[in-house]
Chain A
Amino acid sequence: MRQRFETLIDALLPVIATLAALAVGALMLLALKVNPIEAYAALWDGAFGSTNALAETLVKATPLLLVALGICISFRGDVINIGGEGQMIIGAVLATWVGLTFTGLPGWLVITLAMVAGFTGGAVWGGVPGVLKAYFNVNEILSTVMMNAIAVQLMNFLLRGPMIDPSQAQLASKIPQTARLEDAFHLARLAPTRLHLGALIAVILAILVYILLWRTTLGFRIRAVGQSPFASRYAGIKVPRYMVLALLLSGAFAGLAGAVQVYGVNYRMITDGSASGFTGSAGFNGIVAALFGQLHPLWSIPASILFGALLVGANSMQRMVQVPSALITVLNGLVVVFVVSSEIWRRRRQRRRMAAAPEAESPSKPDQAQVRKEAKS
């Protein structure tokens, strides 16, 4: 009972931190001569106020969660994946290509193939930095940042030329987009809203990733390599291979997120020339969501929803009270900073609790700070 209460407070900490950030935001709103109560009411309504709003929040949370799942894997393997943006794009490109090529096949088959294609595309785009890191000692932060830029240009190139919507190819304006996917290929809607099957897929995958990390030898190895490459090598684990695998899987989930965006939301690929135009920055924000969720696949679910709600709600706030979009970005930044800063209290509480009852320490809720530590010397 007490245990559950403690867990509840832990879970609420990010929410409390978010509220604190919004309180700071309220001061800025006042400075802009906007009524903060009205503004935040709009934010709440926009995120949770109606079935539709809730659905939008979940739609936003879906790619975040998928990316976050990949991040859980790679960060636990001690490889940093900042390449989610590029991996989403490549996954989406491949998935779109499948949908535009195999037009004769039944919908379920094409969707399955497309998801596999997205997964594969992301895996390739994540696997390359993995190989570069494991076998060429190229730092993955550097290579994933670079691979993002390359993916964007590749997308622009493809959508302007080889993959352009045939109807646009005729026009002078040549909007860089692919043709629209056949209706039969769209991911099913879960309610009469934009909420689509992708959300369900993401939640199921969260459970699978949990199982992967803590119930399989593969997960055991990825975590072992992440914690101590030395001990892992000694234990007979091929360290480079699992480094690559961690990044590859991480990329694969991001790629899947890209595919789901195309098949569940946009029904085509379209570029404004930047990565975030397509991804909505889910490739970055997914990292934030995963860390909010303490790199735990299941905790990443509420974390993604929280973050999705914030993004959707903030846009709605912009519309309702006409605050500049820049303020929304500031608020976002504040929330991220406040939430990571609140971690320390969660850790302190956890330590205090462990001092009281040592058994409380469970392998399935690891401490985030510990995750990144590795053998000294």
Chain B
Amino acid sequence: MTDPTNKLPSGRTRIDSLEMRGITKRFPGVLASDHVDFDVQSGEVHALLGENGAGKSTLMKILYGLYHPDEGEVLLNGKPVSIASPNDSINLGIGMIHQHFMLVPSLTIAENVALGLPSSRGLLTDLDQVSKRIVELADIYGLRIDPSLYVWQLSVGQQQRVEIIKALYRGAALLILDEPTAVLTPQEVDELFVIMRQMVKDGHALIFISHKLHEVVEISNRVTVLRDGRKIGTRPTSEITKQDLANWMVGREVGFAPDRGNVECGEARLELKNVSCGSDRGTPGLRGVSMEVCSGEILGIAGVSGNGQRELAETIAGLRKVIGGQVILEGKDVTGLSPAALTDRMLSYIPEERMRDGVIKEFTVAENMILREHEKMPYSRMGFLNLGEISRHADELIKKFQVKTPSRETHAKNLSGGNIQKVVLAREIYRTPRVIIAAQPTRGLDIGATEYVRERLLEQRRNGVAIMLISEDLDEILALSDRIAVLYEGRIMDIVPREQATPQKLGLLMAGVHLEENASVVK
């Protein structure tokens, strides 16, 4: 808005305004977008808000050319444009950071970035140059990253950084950021915001999607709220508070501080004794982890992603080979037992990668609801499935856990992420477990769903279940945990009672700083 030359620092032409008019999109059984008007100007961050499944990603995918709207038009600087494919939108100067990463795991970071771009060496790839530029960009924006790593070697947070680098590298005039902060640590979010502010200053137009209201309040100029595919309204951010936003979005009061209540800690249900395991990257995953989780307790596991959280969860769930040490469940050594055996011992696991591990996308909601216990009574008898009972069970859970789905016969892949998480949660909780491992249980969920998931976890805690909560969201850890363990490079840095935990203290531990050594810094 300040630069009159119409050019961005990257050399691209500015997009002064972009307007979507009357956008309508139908999916089988869902009206994902219902005559939505939306616009964004150069030099602003326009936040898009809404519950899971409200149609935010759909609207943005239409803008990016991934979906074709059934109705409606897009105007760029006042002129109608046709966007039939990402190629068109890229040519128009639109970039997008996707909610579900658009990365090729078998390629390196540099290759992922270079993909689809013209090369300075003509037909040959210019990966050296791309790598150099990536390092430069990473330096400028404080995103440490080694471009020669393969994407499959990266943690989810690192992958998110690659998505951001990819977008920055391309220097779009209008950038869509679909939940970029869902997997970032607070520090990383701050870094991202610095980048975004710089971009806005340079004259970029940004669209920002997040379920974290404080982020929206902090970064955006305007907010648009969607509900059930319809636009509820657009307002300047300055005129609105977090609480207003929440009410506006969900259409009801939302409580922010879950009531933890006081629960007596009971016997140790889950114990780890000096457990070690490997990681997918060939490096050690856990290096001698010891801890215990008691009945009626939530033990929070904090840490920057990639420091062994996934390995910890998978080791306990029987999905990863234990190299050394013991896992003890209710006093019995369960080291090396299969997931099936652990299921029988009433261990529940809410996996981090819900789309990959938590559900079978092509199975129906009903089938997914019995995934864990399909061979048990009453869902099956003598090897035969009891379809009546399975349907009844699914209907009950759908109702009890308020899963938004056209029917129990809908394929899981057609549910929104939040509702998929509810399916997993319903399945894992309904069976009255003794121990729950919950990995990133609210990642990507809207505030309503987040609140709901947290309440369910607390309810289980009240019932005396031992819960291990693995989360990168410090607020969540602090809100729910009784004690907090910090993982760093596969080791437990410290286990802190909640009363003594502060974000600063945890932040240092997460960075691998021992508190004794740095007592002065803490105080």
Contact = CB atoms under 8 A, between A and B. Distances in A.
A218 B383 contact: yes
Contacts of A137: none
Given A215-B384, A217-B374, A220-B367, A232 B360 contact: yes
A53 B169 CA distance: 68
Given A227-B362, A228-B361, A238 B338 contact: yes
A183 interface: no
B30 to A, nearest CB: 8
Contacts of A355: 26-29
Given A233-B339, A370-B362, A358 B28 contact: yes
Q: How large is the interface on A (under 10, 10 to 19, 20 to 34, 35 or more residues)?
A: 20 to 34
B406 interface: yes
Contacts of A224: 360, 363, 371
Contact of B29 (A221, A234, A237, A354): A354
Interface in A220-247: 220-221, 223-224, 227-228, 230-238
Nearest to B358: A231
A349 interface: no
A377 B410 contact: no
A377 B339 contact: no
A189 interface: no
A217 B385 contact: yes
B349 to A, nearest CB: 7
A235 B411 contact: no
A361 interface: yes
B410 A361 contact: yes
A358 B340 contact: no
B317 interface: yes
B409 interface: yes
B360 A363 contact: no
Interface in B326-347: 338-343
A231 B29 contact: no
Contacts of B357: 230-231, 233-234
A230 B339 CA distance: 12
Nearest to A234: B357
Contacts of A375: 355-356, 361
Contact of B385 (A216, A231, A366): A216
Contacts of A215: 384-385, 387
Contacts of A377: 101, 105, 353, 355-356
A351 B353 CA distance: 28
A236 B353 CA distance: 16
A237 B359 contact: no
B351 interface: yes
B231 to A, nearest CB: 22
Given A215-B384, A373-B362, A375-B355, A220 B374 contact: yes
Contacts of A358: 28-29, 406-407, 410
Contacts of B101: 377
Contacts of A216: 380, 383-385
A154 interface: no
A214 to B, nearest CB: 8
Interface string B403-414: 000110111000
Contact of B380 (A217, A235, A366): A217
A363 B340 contact: no
B360 A233 contact: no
B372 interface: yes
Nearest to A372: B362
Main secondary structure of the interface of B (DSSP, over half): loop
User: Which of A217, A231, A232, A237 is packed against the most chain B CB atoms within 10 Å?
Assistant: A231
B75 interface: no
B385 A220 contact: yes
Interface in B26-60: 26-29
Contacts of A227: 360-363
Contacts of A366: 362
B372 A231 contact: no
A223 B362 CA distance: 10
A354 B359 contact: no
A362 interface: yes
A34 interface: no
Given A215-B387, A217-B380, A371 B356 contact: no
Contacts of A370: 362, 411
B149 interface: no
B26 A234 contact: no
Given A220-B367, A220-B374, A231 B356 contact: yes
B409 A362 contact: yes
A231 B409 contact: no
Nearest to B28: A354
A371 B362 contact: yes
Given A217-B383, A230-B356, A363 B339 contact: no
B188 interface: no
Nearest to A357: B29
User: Which of A233, A235, A355, A373 is packed against the most chain B CB atoms within 10 Å?
Assistant: A235
A339 to B, nearest CB: 23
Contacts of B374: 217, 220-221, 235
Nearest to A224: B360
User: Which of B29, B343, B349, B360 is packed against the most chain A CB atoms within 10 Å?
Assistant: B360
B385 A236 contact: no
A230 B407 CA distance: 25
Nearest to A373: B362
A359 to B, nearest CB: 5
Given A217-B380, A217-B385, A236-B372, A231 B339 contact: no
30 contacts: A214-B385, A215-B384, A216-B380, A216-B384, A217-B375, A218-B383, A220-B374, A221-B374, A227-B360, A227-B362, A230-B357, A231-B356, A231-B359, A231-B371, A233-B357, A234-B339, A234-B351, A235-B339, A236-B343, A351-B28, A354-B28, A355-B27, A358-B410, A359-B407, A361-B28, A361-B411, A363-B409, A370-B411, A371-B362, A377-B355
Given A220-B374, A234-B319, 20 more contacts: A215-B385, A216-B380, A216-B383, A217-B385, A221-B374, A224-B363, A224-B371, A234-B349, A235-B339, A236-B339, A354-B29, A355-B26, A358-B28, A361-B409, A361-B410, A361-B411, A363-B367, A370-B362, A377-B101, A377-B105
Which 7 pairs show the lowest CB-CB distances between chains A and B? Answer: A358-B29, A236-B340, A354-B28, A358-B406, A236-B339, A235-B371, A217-B375
Interface of A: 214-218, 220-221, 223-224, 227-228, 230-238, 351, 354-355, 358-359, 361-363, 366, 370-371, 373, 375, 377
Interface of B: 26-29, 101, 105, 317, 319, 338-343, 349, 351, 353, 355-364, 367, 371-372, 374-375, 380, 383-385, 387, 406-407, 409-411
